[in-house]
Amino acid sequence: MKLRPFGGLILIAGMAGLGLLLPGWSRFLLTLALARGLLVLGVVLLMQAGLVSFGQGLFFAAGAYAVGFAARDLGIRDAWLGVALGAGAGLGIAALTGPLLARYRGIFFAMLTLAFSMILYGVLVKAYWITGGTDGLRIPPPTFLGWSPPEEHLGSALYLFTLACTAVMVFLIFRYLQSPLGYTVRAIRDNEVRVEYLGLSVSRALYITVLLVGAMGGLGGALSAMSVGHIDPNLAYWTTSGEFVFVALLGGTGNVFAPLVGSIVFEFLRTYAYKYIPYTWQMGLGLIMLAIVGFAPGGLWSLYELITRRMSGWMWSWKRGA
């Protein structure tokens, strides 16, 4: 995929306009979808290296709790500081766990990420005098560089802020995937031994990727904490991480937009599932997932590609007058 700066700006402006026009509840869903989309993007990034992370909840919760602690103990309510702290927390945890994670592949990688996130879950539940235990913490509405948006504009402000952060991250990931490092990571997926024979350091490339995924996950956690206004240890539970993997496959793992599209579709899907099939919504998700695995392994994005290919085919034949 090529980077098209103009198209990108139009897309961002369109998203901003759309978000402001939509009713409040769907703007909230969009905000949440973008924030969680960053975690999904992390799953996809690791999948490019052939790794499945079943522990994105680790970074998610780290970012969210960083915001929570900053607000409760330091009185920091600023959104900019909040995302910096969140990303920093994710990065810090990735720096600690990364050296170990980068040594494992396949199922072992998946299980190790899962174990780390469950350890954090255990800490969050057990150290209730610090973390508030299973009750979690309340996050006060954020301010933006001293400006405290009035109640009715808070949702829009958060949405635009989240959109901006997501756009920056997507751009960075775009650059990363087109850098030598990004190509190395995809080569690792194809054949790790050959990459090593070429003189490239596999573990270094994977470590940097884990750092990136961690920081991005922390950022997503911070954004989602600020817009939901409440956090609890379930953010680190393995089913949360499982959901991120699910969304990654729903969207498709081929490029940087698919995870965000998947995330948005998923948030709306889940909201409607709660509404119309409250007792069997998990079953609904399961069936959709089976359908994806069986019939569209490339996710929604592959359907989009199929359609555009067909369309351009028709356009050609129409132009030729056939």
Footprint of other proteins (CB under 8 A): 47, 52, 54, 100, 103-104, 106-108, 110-112, 114-116, 118-119, 122-123, 125-126, 191-194, 197, 238-239, 242, 245-246, 249, 279-283, 285-287, 289-290, 292-294, 297
Q: Tell me whether residue 33 is exposed, middle or buried, using C-beta atoms within 10 angstroms of its C-beta: 0 to 12, 13 to 18, 19 or more.
A: buried
Do residues 231 and 72 lie in contact, with contact meaning Cβ atoms separated by under 8 Å?
A: no
CB of residue 106 to other proteins, shortest distance in Å: 6
* CA–CA distance, 154 with 12 (Å, rounded to integer): 19
Task: Give me the phi and psi of 137, to 5 degrees please.
Answer: -125, 150
Q: Count other C-beta atoms under 10 Å from residue 90's C-beta.
A: 33
CB of residue 69 to other proteins, shortest distance in Å: 20
CB of residue 261 to other proteins, shortest distance in Å: 18
* CA–CA distance, 65 with 230 (Å, rounded to integer): 10
Query: Which CB sits closer to other proteins, 4 or 194?
Result: 194
Strands (E), the chain: 137-138, 230-231
Query: Which CB sits closer to other proteins, 278 or 321?
Result: 278
Query: Which CB sits closer to other proteins, 38 or 52?
Result: 52
* CA–CA distance, 39 with 246 (Å, rounded to integer): 12
CB of residue 58 to other proteins, shortest distance in Å: 12
Residue 241's closest CA among 106, 110, 107, 145? 110
Do residues 37 and 259 lie in contact, with contact meaning Cβ atoms separated by under 8 Å?
A: yes
CB of residue 96 to other proteins, shortest distance in Å: 12
CB of residue 49 to other proteins, shortest distance in Å: 12
Task: DSSP letter for 212, please.
Answer: H
Do residues 90 and 210 lie in contact, with contact meaning Cβ atoms separated by under 8 Å?
A: no
Query: Which CB sits closer to other proteins, 56 or 227?
Result: 56
CB of residue 99 to other proteins, shortest distance in Å: 11
Quickly list H helices, 102-179: 106-126, 128-131, 151-178
Q: Tell me whether residue 23 is exposed, middle or buried, using C-beta atoms within 10 angstroms of its C-beta: 0 to 12, 13 to 18, 19 or more.
A: exposed
Query: Which CB sits closer to other proteins, 247 or 260?
Result: 247
Query: Which CB sits closer to other proteins, 86 or 233?
Result: 233
Query: Which CB sits closer to other proteins, 128 or 316?
Result: 128
Query: Which CB sits closer to other proteins, 192 or 305?
Result: 192
CB of residue 243 to other proteins, shortest distance in Å: 10
Do residues 40 and 246 lie in contact, with contact meaning Cβ atoms separated by under 8 Å?
A: no
